[in-house]
Amino acid sequence: MIRLAVAGAAGRMGKTILGLAFKDKNIQVTGALEQAGSADVGLDAGILAGAGESGIAISDKPETALKKADVLIDFTHFSATPRHLETAVKFKTGYVVGTTALPAETLAKLRAASKKIPVVQSPNMSIGVNLLLKLAEIAAKALDESYDMEIMEIHHRHKKDSPSGTAMKLLEVVAAARKRNLSRDVVYGREGDIGARPHGQIGTLALRGGDVVGDHTLYFFGDGERIELTHKASSREAFAKGALTAAKFIAKRKNGLYDMAQVLGIS
């Protein structure tokens, strides 16, 4: 039985994760965390997640939420990550973080913490997306430079970062496979009299609107043919299931920094 705490418990991802966790016979929810000042602090986490009364009150104190947990799942804003990570290290709690747009300083703290606790860090916990990343690497290596690469992602109107963390990871994967430079060979959107497409350039485009959970497509444009690798998320359950899979993975490990490819055994 894995004892689980969830940060951002009242958010869209937090409620989805909790809803699935309360139904999982191998998981015991022992803590739920929200930011100070949230109107949801003190509410029953099970009721908020639509799973019925659980007896787990949402707290605004990481120490309270984590004191009984084996693993913390965190999908909150990156500004909250350092404190959550510090508390996880204090209680020797495994840490699954799906927060995107993490600053370099925070990524360094994750690497340092992973020497003391197990950490899974991924911009996208979806099993399908991580398979897409693997297929993207294979395709980028198999297709020669005559195939132009472009990435397009679509998300709901409320998403704050752009391009998405998943699009950036996809970009990193294909750029590494083609030995391209991220600062020199990537363009984010195009406008005006841009001239002919430079050889080796990778275009990345972000669309925002409606309630789109997350669509990502990698294009390979060749002469006479086009290859498209696409993943479309229709529900946040895809990310929540992946996060719970990651929680079960690190519950059996002492320390180390892992990604979802390692969790799924496809690295």
Give me the active site residues, please: 155, 159
Q: Distances in Å between the alpha carbon of 226 and those of 129, 149, 151, 218, 221?
A: 20, 10, 13, 11, 5
Question: Residue 94 in 3-state DSSP?
Answer: strand
Quote the CA–CA distance of 186 and 159 in Å, as a whole number. 22
> What are the CB-based long-range contacts (under 8 Å, 24+) for 219-223?
219/148, 219/149, 219/150, 219/151, 219/152, 220/139, 220/140, 220/143, 220/147, 220/148, 220/149, 221/147, 221/148, 221/149, 221/150, 222/143, 222/146, 222/147, 222/148, 223/146
Q: Minimal CA–CA distance to 221: which of 115, 146, 120, 126?
A: 146
Quote the CA–CA distance of 229 and 218 in Å, as a whole number. 5
